[in-house]
């Protein structure tokens, strides 16, 4: 088996952690070889079970290192099993960059573009890992073919995506001996993306001198920590959170209200750090109370980060918050923008950055539009005559200001004044000459020069006054727009993050906030906390200034997915929520479930929740007792034994499938559909006949 390049093993650079070498895969700063990826025993003897308590922060961080390395190896190894269906491309050019082991590569368009089960089209990203080879790999055994050359590399930066060709910078695990003939016969085969694991690796401070905020981390190491206990000083001050305004409290039960108010109370404590555990079995309203808590702290002008395990979960939390905002849009929350169609895309950071880039365009952005509006209101009659000559002036009413609350208030007032100005003009019954006379009186005058001119009617005066007020506000808005500062997307991204009251992201993505100078967070909420590896939860907990955290989850539900059996046995999939819970740390139980029919909740309640879970009044209604088809199989639940089924690995998504079970489910769905559709037709016929 050949190698593409002259170096083997781990490469030349090693990172040290307490005197120990910590080799890692591509992207971690130290590299694995393809042989290492296939070696299931590579870290087997270096992994020990992650303890429940820790002696120090170093002990805590180091406990996750080798299980994380083994998990990354296992993920890449699993991807190699389906290498024949992986996206690949032929290399157009490859050049060695200024530093060793870095290369500039250009490739043709990608083949086999579908990834994640065909749900997405592949686009190269940083931390994508590739096999660089002189042959198009069909199976793992091709790596052993005589004359085959290969290397492992990861994308450092995507320089340019021009559609048919893509330029990017990569880092290789071994030096590549470049020759003219080699340039014409190289392929890059996508293996996987290790962004999340790389972020966890960096957050563990392996090979890095940077340190984050370890205040909360230090407090969750030992079981005797008081981090989860109520503050004695705050209790003595008798802070009364029950008197706080909680919009929509009537929609919550007593325990849900207590969870929200208790979280707010701990967030306001300045004496100690706190970690609050909210335990919510399925259907008890975990996401609902998170949205209510966010809405409450938003009105209190706090800065809060909400993390989840997946982007789908972020979508769910944000959607729930928007529903709360829509119901309470007549309230005092002025910092959440409300959209007509409630498009959640409008809240995505990338969407807002793109919109702000348009707004700061010198030729067509805010500054140009505000200047045009000022000119228009100063010289209304002149522009009117130009309009009559079929030359139009575009007036944009959706102008905005930013930076300070005063300027934001000016923006809101301006929109109201423009609407008032429009209303006054629509109510006026003046003829054309009268309107021209009104606006000619102030043409080119100073903004405050209403003095010395007697209006012929009160409506005339109101119109003139409204125009002057619009001009005053427009000038204030214009002065607040600083185009020069926002000429780069990165600066606009930082501006959005610095000024946002609520930030939503996955726990992994919160790593980007570690390098952004933002105002210290008042609170972090981790939803689905029991589905996050503890080492992943450690990323957002290290944000500067953070002292209070709320973990919402249920350790009895599915934990984080771990693909390595060795890492799973070591406890890599255990969450911080589960570890603290197992140590006897108190957690607030949301005991009323509003999702399952009582006959369904009966088993999990008895088996996993010691009978503590109660059924909500809605699941006891007749609506939950409806049976659309006769037979016991179509009751609230059924156990169906499917024989002769075999599990197999899907070639694309790597997931397990059982086609016999799929066939059984399809038959049940068809029967259900036919039965319910027939009932629907009969009911419509009877209703029509009546």
One domain for residues 232 and 306: yes
In sequence order, which residues have a C-beta less than 8 Å from that of residue 563 and are 6 or more positions away?
A: 71, 74, 75, 78
- End residue of a domain, out of 442, 465, 484: 484
73 and 39 assigned to the same domain: yes
User: Which of 450, 484, 518 is where one domain is finished?
Assistant: 484
Same domain? For 290 and 423 the reply is: no
Q: Residue 129: which of 214, 51, 195, 190 has the closest Cα?
A: 190
- Rounded to whole angstroms, how far apart are CA atoms 649 and 212? 41
Return d(Cα 619, Cα 617) in angstroms, integer.
6
How far, in Å, CA of 1 to CA of 137, rounded?
A: 14
Tokens at residue 313, please?
A: 């979960």
Report which of 616, 608, 572, 590 is spatially closest to residue 276, judged by C-alpha positions.
590
Same domain (yes/no): 46, 123: yes
Residue pair 14/536 in contact (Cβ under 8 Å)? The answer is: no
pLDDT, residue 335, reads: 44
Collapsing DSSP states into helix, strand and coil, what is residue 106?
strand
**One domain for residues 471 and 545:** no
What residues in the chain have per-residue pLDDT under 50? 1-22, 206-210, 242-243, 330-345, 390-403, 445-453, 456, 484-485, 682, 684-690
Fill in the DSSP letter of residue 111: B
Residue at a domain's end among 176, 210, 244:
210
**432 in a structural domain:** yes
Q: How far is CA 600 from CA 283, 559, 595, 617, 639, in A?
A: 12, 22, 10, 15, 12
Do 374 and 318 reside in the same domain of the chain?
A: no
Residue identified by tokens 């180091």 is: 62
- Enumerate the H helices of 402-488 as residue ranges: 405-427, 432-440, 458-480
pLDDT given at position 318: 87
Find how far residue 15's CA is from the centre of its chain: 31
Cβ neighbours of 683 (radius 10 Å): 10
* CA 506 remoteness from chain centre: 5
User: Is residue 356 situated within a structural domain?
Assistant: no
Prediction pTM value: 0.74
Torsion of the alpha carbons at 146, 151, 152 and 158, rounded to the nearest 10: -130
Please give the pLDDT value at position 607: 92
Residue with tokens 């009546």: 690
- What the block records as the tokens of 208 is 């890095």
- Report pLDDT for 207: 40
Residues 104-142 as b/e (b if ≥16 CB within 10 A, e otherwise) read bbbbeebeeeebeeeeeebebeebbbbbbbbbebeebeb
Q: Are 193 and 128 in contact (CB under 8 A)?
A: yes
Token pair for residue 397?
């009413």
* Cα dihedral across residues 299, 300, 302, 305: positive or negative: negative
Cβ burial of 181 (10 Å; 0-12, 13-18, 19+) is: exposed
What is the tally of structural domains in the chain?
Answer: 4
Alpha-carbon 486 to chain mean position: 24
What does the alpha-carbon distance between residue 294 and residue 303 come to, in Å, rounded to a whole number? Answer: 10
What confidence score (pLDDT) does residue 578 get? 95
Domain holding 6, by residue range, is 1-210
Is residue 87 helix, strand or coil? coil
Measured between alpha carbons, how far is 325 from 342 in angstroms, rounded to an integer?
Answer: 10
Region class of 678: left (phi > 0), else alpha (psi between -120 and 50), else beta: alpha
Cβ-contact 548, 522 below 8 angstroms:
yes
Distance between CA atoms of residues 257 and 267, nearest Å = 15
Model pLDDT for residues 83-119, shown as the tens digit of each residue: 888 888 888 888 888 776 888 888 888 887 766 666 6
- Return the pLDDT at 312: 86
Residue 48 token pair:
């020990």
Judge whether 253 lies within some domain.
yes
Residue 609 lies in a domain: no
Q: Cα 235 to chain center, whole Å?
A: 35
Helix (H) or strand (E) holding 343: none
Judge if 525 and 636 occupy the same domain: no
- Residue 225 shares a structural domain with residue 252: yes
In contact, 280 and 551? CB cutoff 8 Å: no
Q: Are residues 530 and 636 in the same domain?
A: no
In a domain, 619, yes or no: no
User: Do 584 and 435 belong together in one domain?
Assistant: no
Alpha carbon separation from 139 to 78, 82, 437, 545 (Å, rounded): 12, 7, 84, 50
Residue 616 has a pLDDT of 94
Element (DSSP H or E) covering residue 649: strand 648-649
pLDDT at residue 549 in the model: 94
Q: Residues, the chain, total?
A: 690
Query: Would 502 be classed as within a structural domain?
Result: yes
CA–CA distance from 236 to each of 99, 373, 391 (Å)?
61, 57, 72
Q: What is the DSSP string of 33-79?
A: -HHHHT-TTTTTTT--PPPSS-SSHHHHHHHTHHHHHHHHHHHHHHH
91 shares a domain with 109:
yes
CA separation for the pair 283, 240 (Å, rounded):
29
| 156 and 37 together in one domain | yes
């Amino acid at each position: 088996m050949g190698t593409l390049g002259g170096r083997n093993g781990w490469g030349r650079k090693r990172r040290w952690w307490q005197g120990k070498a910590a080799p890692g895969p591509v992207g971690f700063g130290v590299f694995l070889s393809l042989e290492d990826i296939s070696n299931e025993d590579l870290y087997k003897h270096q992994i020990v079970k992650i303890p429940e308590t820790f002696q120090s922060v170093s002990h805590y961080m180091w406990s996750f290192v080798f299980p994380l390395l083994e998990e990354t190896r296992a993920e890449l190894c699993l991807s190699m099993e389906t290498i024949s269906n992986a996206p690949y491309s032929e290399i157009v050019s490859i050049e060695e960059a200024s530093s060793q082991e870095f290369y500039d590569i250009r490739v043709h368009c990608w083949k086999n573009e579908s990834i994640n089960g065909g749900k997405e089209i592949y686009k190269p990203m940083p931390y994508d890992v590739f096999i660089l080879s002189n042959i198009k790999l069909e199976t793992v055994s091709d790596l052993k073919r005589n004359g085959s050359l290969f290397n492992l590399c990861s994308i450092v930066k995507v320089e340019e995506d021009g559609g048919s060709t893509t330029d990017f910078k990569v880092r290789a695990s071994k030096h590549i001996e470049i020759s003219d003939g080699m340039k014409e016969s190289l392929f890059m085969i996508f293996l996987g993306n290790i962004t999340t694991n790389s972020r966890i690796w960096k957050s563990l401070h392996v090979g890095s001198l940077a340190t984050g905020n370890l205040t909360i981390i230090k407090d969750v190491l030992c079981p005797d920590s008081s981090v989860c206990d109520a503050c004695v000083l705050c209790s003595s001050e008798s802070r009364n959170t029950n008197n706080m305004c909680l919009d929509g409290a009537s929609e919550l039960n007593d325990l849900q209200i207590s969870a929200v108010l208790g979280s707010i109370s701990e967030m306001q404590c300045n004496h100690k750090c706190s970690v609050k555990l909210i335990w919510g079995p399925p259907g008890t309203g975990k996401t609902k109370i998170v949205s209510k808590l966010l809405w409450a702290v938003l009105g209190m002008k706090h800065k809060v980060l909400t993390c989840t395990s997946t982007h789908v979960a972020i979508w769910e939390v944000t959607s729930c918050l928007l529903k709360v905002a829509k119901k309470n849009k007549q309230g005092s929350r002025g910092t959440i923008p409300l959209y007509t169609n409630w498009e959640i895309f409008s809240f995505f950071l990338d969407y807002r950055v793109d919109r702000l880039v348009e707004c700061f365009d010198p030729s067509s952005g805010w500054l140009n539009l505000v200047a045009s509006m000022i000119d228009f209101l100063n010289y209304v009659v002149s522009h009117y005559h130009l309009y009559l000559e079929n030359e139009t002036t575009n007036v944009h009413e959706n102008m905005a200001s930013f930076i300070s609350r005063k300027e934001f208030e000016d923006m809101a007032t301006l929109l109201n004044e423009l609407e008032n100005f429009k209303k006054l003009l629509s109510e006026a019954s003046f003829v054309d000459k009268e309107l021209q006379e009104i606006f000619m009186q102030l043409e080119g005058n100073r903004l405050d020069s209403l003095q010395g001119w007697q209006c012929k009617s009160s409506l005339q005066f109101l119109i003139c006054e409204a125009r002057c007020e619009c001009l005053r506000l427009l000038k204030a808005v214009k002065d607040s727009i600083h185009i020069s500062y926002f000429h780069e997307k990165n600066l606009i991204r930082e501006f959005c993050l610095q000024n946002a009251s609520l930030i939503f992201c996955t726990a992994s993505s919160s790593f980007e906030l570690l390098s952004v100078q933002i105002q210290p967070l008042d609170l972090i909420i981790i939803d689905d906390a029991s589905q996050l590896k503890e080492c992943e939860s450690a990323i957002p907990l290290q944000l500067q200034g953070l002292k209070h955290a709320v973990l919402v989850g249920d350790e009895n539900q599915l934990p984080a997915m771990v693909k390595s059996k060795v890492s799973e046995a070591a406890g890599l999939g255990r969450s911080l929520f589960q570890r603290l819970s197992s140590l006897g740390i108190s957690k607030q139980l949301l005991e009323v479930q509003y999702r399952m029919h009582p006959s369904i909740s009966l088993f999990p309640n008895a088996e996993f929740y010691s009978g503590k879970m109660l059924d909500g009044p809605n699941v006891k209604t007749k609506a939950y007792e409806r049976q659309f088809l006769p037979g016991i199989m179509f009751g609230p639940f059924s156990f169906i034994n499917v024989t002769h089924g075999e599990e197999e690995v899907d070639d694309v998504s790597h997931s397990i499938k059982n086609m016999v079970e799929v066939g059984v489910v399809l038959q049940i769905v068809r029967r259900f559909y036919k039965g319910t559709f027939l009932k629907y037709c009969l009911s419509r016929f009877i209703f029509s006949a009546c």
